[in-house]
Amino acid sequence: MSPDDESPLCDEDSETGVLPDADSVELLASRRRRTLLGLLIDAERTDHSLESLATAIAQTERESGLGAIPSHRVAVSLYHVHLPKLDAAGVLDYDRETNRVRYCGDERIEAWLAAIDES
């Protein structure tokens, strides 16, 4: 999360981002990404470790009957697939060197998640 790599959506001076509907739907197509974003949105703090997120997601998936997937396997999928995709979209800022994640916010993502949760 160096200044040169920082997404404009994560710039503290900018407003919350808004992705187009098609991009939002694509990002929310994965249950694991929806779980991750839900955790980030509901969290009181903005800075998270990859390990803490993987543990929380593994627990959530286990509680919802998706099976007991070890947190290290969840971490691998976050590291290689989900975090880079969300970082590229500007929804979060992911530093691969420190494995730290910071949610940037996106109004449309949050609205879609709320609608999915209600259904």
79: left (phi over 0), alpha (psi -120 to 50) or beta: alpha
Q: Is residue 41 part of a domain?
A: yes
Q: Is residue 4 part of a domain?
A: no
Which residues of the chain are under the pLDDT cut of 70? 1-18, 20-21, 119
The predicted structure's pLDDT at residue 98: 96
The predicted structure's pLDDT at residue 1: 43
Q: Which residue has the tokens 């470790």?
A: 49
Q: Is residue 14 part of a domain?
A: no
Domain of residue 101, residue span: 19-118
Total domains, the chain: 1
Q: Is residue 1 part of a domain?
A: no
The predicted structure's pLDDT at residue 11: 53
Interacting residues of 21 by C-beta distance below 8 A, sequence separation 6+: 108
Q: Are 101 and 49 in contact (CB under 8 A)?
A: yes
CATH code for the domain in which residue 45 is found? 1.10.10.10
Rounded distance between C-alpha atoms, residue 69 and residue 77, angstroms = 11
Rounded distance between C-alpha atoms, residue 1 and residue 23, angstroms = 23
* DSSP alpha helix (H) spans, the chain: 21-27, 31-42, 50-63, 71-77, 83-88, 107-118
Token pair of 94 as six digits: 């992911």
The predicted structure's pLDDT at residue 9: 44
The predicted structure's pLDDT at residue 81: 96
The predicted structure's pLDDT at residue 108: 86
Find the distance separating the first CA and the last CA of the chain, reported in whole Å. 36
Q: Is residue 95 part of a domain?
A: yes
Q: Is residue 11 part of a domain?
A: no
Q: Is residue 36 part of a domain?
A: yes
Q: Is residue 84 part of a domain?
A: yes
The one-letter amino acid at 48: H
